[in-house]
A and B are shown apart, each in its own frame.
Chain A
Amino acid sequence: MMGPLIPQGIITGEWDFVIALLLGIAFGFILEASGFSSSRNIAGVFYGYNFVVLRVFLTAVLVAMIGLLYFDYMGWIEMDLVYVLPTYLRSMVVGSFIMGLGFVLGGFCPGTSYTAIAIGKIDALVFTGGLFLGIFLFSEAFPWISGFYYSDNLGNVTVNEVLGISNELFTFILVVMGLVAFWGTWLIEKRVRKTNKHYKFE
């Protein structure tokens, strides 16, 4: 059996949403159990007192990348059918800046805010309300910004098409960078926590 299953019609329509729900539950569980339901845990990544975001996020990316490459090698997944997010250069750069600012201010990202609502965080509820409002404002303003939104379309390009390095090399570089970051941030965190006594987990 070769993946991906749904695009090839191996799993059909009716199961689609059941699977979505189950995968979502697993996603939410992992996020909450890792401590992503607390905005102060998340924001810690920017101030050096808690690097849980970096650890979980980067480990997940690395594991998934390595796994995907091995799956591809074993012929378990058809890489051509795996969705590659399209790149709209300018729009994405601006979007990232805006999200970055929103991240420092709000301390959540959409996925983590849902889990935080689940355990009773009012600030997460407000954050999600903000999300709703933000998307609403964007949609209303869309006629004026659609030109920008669609500009610089590079298509569904992958890293190796743009940077010219193989997926394997790219993964290896990220793994090395990630491991350095894991060890480095461990030292930083230890030092910051020594001087900063008033921060406690949740």
Chain B
Amino acid sequence: MNRNYLYLTMLMLALAGGLFVLPERNNEQGTLPEELMWDIVQPTRYATTDQVARMIIEKDPTIELIDVRPFDEYTDFSLPGAVNIPLDSIVNENYQDYLGIQDMNAVFFSDDDIKADQAWVIARRMGYDNIYVMRGGLNCWVETIIRPEKPDETASRQEFEKYILRKGASMYFVGGAKMDENTGSKKTNVAVKRKKKAAVAEGGC
């Protein structure tokens, strides 16, 4: 009997010690190519500049604007309240707190769609949900929100309503931009909300 226990002792030690000598192994399967493709072709992953403008004006707390252009371009001009995660540092540890916050919708934007789209794909591949791209980027933003074009006389009523909204938004943002200049770099101090672990109902034993 004693000898059996000796064997069991050694087995236990071997099993526990074995944990150290296991070769590295990556279990991250990530998103499958098919899934990723499916996600990419979904039109719902885009937010229009109008939607973004409205959310900013209404101070929607669930929107998180992420500027993926380089830092100097971000300091030159960006959307109010936007945080800067340059595209090349999107996989950086330090920026992960900005992504994947529960109940927050992250909207990527750049000058046009391209960089924001790339950021979106990378973030998607890292497993984040609730991420969007602002369609057309800042170019479109300036065209539609800051300097909206007056529609033709023959245009539909909706077009005009849109124009009026945009005109209003333009006032809001141009005024807002001036204020930003005064307050300087303050807008970079965006409070970081820590990602919370999935809450499981308490109840213990």
Contacts and interface: CB of A to CB of B under 8 A. Distances in A.
Nearest to B6: A183
Nearest to A85: B204
A81 B198 CA distance: 8
Interface string B6-28: 00010011011101101001010
A80 B198 contact: yes
A171 B16 contact: yes
B12 A62 contact: yes
Contact of B12 (A7, A169, A179): A179
Counting chain B residues whose Cβ lies within 8 A of the other chain, the interface size class is: 10 to 19
Given A172-B17, A172-B20, A175-B13, A75 B197 contact: no
A17 interface: no
A103 B125 CA distance: 51
Interface string A8-26: 0000000000000000000
A156 B200 CA distance: 10
Contacts of B16: 62, 66, 171-172, 175-176
A100 interface: no
Contacts of A175: 12-13, 15-16
Contacts of B204: 85
A69 B19 contact: yes
Nearest to A79: B27
Nearest to A80: B198
B27 A75 contact: yes
A182 B27 CA distance: 35
B19 A172 contact: yes
B205 interface: yes
B200 to A, nearest CB: 5
A155 interface: yes
A155 B196 CA distance: 10
29 contacts: A62-B12, A66-B15, A66-B16, A66-B19, A73-B22, A73-B27, A74-B27, A75-B27, A75-B29, A80-B197, A80-B198, A81-B198, A83-B200, A85-B204, A86-B202, A156-B197, A169-B20, A171-B16, A171-B19, A172-B17, A172-B19, A172-B20, A175-B12, A175-B15, A176-B13, A178-B12, A179-B12, A182-B5, A182-B9
